[in-house]
Chains A and B, each alone.
Chain A
Amino acid sequence: MKTQIGLTALLAALSTGAMAQNFNDPAEFERQKGLLTVAPQGPDGKPWEQNLGGEKVDTAKYKKPGPYKLCFSNAGVNNPWRVVGFTNMQAEVDANKADIASFTHADAEGKDDKQISDINAFVNSGQCDALIVSPNTTAALTPAVEAAAKKLPVVVFDRGVDSKAPVTFINPIGGYGFGIQGASFIAEKIPAGGSVLALRILPGVDVLENRWAAAERIFKEKGIKVVGAEFTNGDNAKTKAIVEDYLNRFGKIDGVWMDAGATAVAALEAFEDAGKPYPVINGEDQQDFLQKWKKNKLTAIAPTYPTYQWRTPVIAAIRILKGEPVTGPTWKLPQPAITTETLDKYVNDKMPPLHYALCGCEQMTNYPARWGGK
Chain B
Amino acid sequence: MSAMAAQPGPSAARRFARGLNVGLAVFLVLYGTIAVLQPSYFEVEGFLNFLRRAAPLIILACGQLFVIAGGGFDLSMGSLVTLTVLGGSMLAGGNPENTWWTIGVLYLIGLGVGLVNGLVVTLLKVPSIIATLGMLLSLNGAALMWSGGAPRGYLPENFRALGRLVYRDVPLTGIMPLSVIILIGFVALAAWLLHATVFGRQVLAVGDNPRTAELSGVPVGATRVLVFVISALSAVTAGILLGGFAGVSTAVGQGLELQAIAACVIGGAQLLGGRASVTGAVAGALSLFALFTLLNLMGLPQPLRETVQGLILIAAVASSAWRMRRA
Contact = CB atoms under 8 A, between A and B. Distances in A.
Contacts of B247: 236, 265-266, 269, 288
Given A231-B302, A237-B242, A241-B293, A249 B150 contact: no
Contact of A80 (B37, B49, B150, B296): B150
Contacts of A266: 246-247, 249
Given A266-B247, A273-B164, A353-B248, A14 B304 contact: yes
Contacts of B154: 288, 353
Interface size class of A (residues with CB under 8 A): 35 or more
Nearest to A354: B150
Contacts of A230: 296
A288 B150 CA distance: 12
Interface residues of B, number: 36
B252 interface: yes
A242 B152 contact: no
B182 interface: no
Contacts of A269: 164, 246-247
A83 B146 CA distance: 13
B251 interface: yes
B33 interface: no
Interface string A322-356: 00000000000000000000000000000011110
Given A11-B301, A11-B304, A248-B40, A234 B153 contact: no
Interface string B24-67: 00000000000001101100001001000100100000000000
Interface centre among B148, B166, B246, B252 (most CB of A within 10 A): B246
B38 A249 contact: yes
Given A241-B53, A265-B247, A79 B152 contact: no
Interface string A186-203: 000000000000000001
A248 B297 CA distance: 10
A77 B145 CA distance: 11
A245 interface: yes
A352 B251 contact: no
A80 B250 contact: yes
Interface of A, secondary structure class, is: helix
A228 B299 contact: yes
Contact of B254 (A228, A233, A241): A233
A236 B252 contact: yes
Contacts of A352: 150-153
A269 B243 CA distance: 13
Given A11-B304, A231-B302, A236-B247, A372 B38 contact: no
A253 interface: no
Nearest to B168: A275
Contacts of A84: 150
Interface in A208-252: 228, 230-231, 233-237, 239-242, 244-245, 248-249
B303 interface: yes
B245 interface: yes
A248 B46 contact: yes
Nearest to B292: A241
Contacts of B297: 245, 249
A301 interface: no
A236 B249 contact: yes
B148 A83 contact: yes
Contact of B252 (A77, A237, A249, A372): A237
A258 interface: no
Contacts of A17: 303
Nearest to A270: B246
A83 B149 CA distance: 6
B149 A245 contact: no
Nearest to A356: B150
A78 interface: yes
Nearest to B160: A269
Contacts of B248: 236, 353-354
Given A266-B246, A266-B249, 9 more contacts: A14-B301, A14-B304, A82-B149, A244-B53, A248-B40, A266-B247, A352-B151, A353-B153, A372-B152
Interface of A: 11, 14-15, 17-18, 77-80, 82-84, 203, 228, 230-231, 233-237, 239-242, 244-245, 248-249, 262-263, 265-266, 269, 273, 288, 352-355, 372
What 4 A-B pairs have minimum CB-CB distances, sorted nearest first?
A: A236-B246, A83-B149, A80-B150, A236-B249
19 contacts: A11-B301, A14-B304, A15-B301, A15-B303, A18-B303, A79-B250, A80-B149, A233-B251, A235-B246, A236-B246, A236-B251, A241-B53, A244-B53, A248-B41, A352-B150, A352-B153, A354-B150, A372-B150, A372-B152
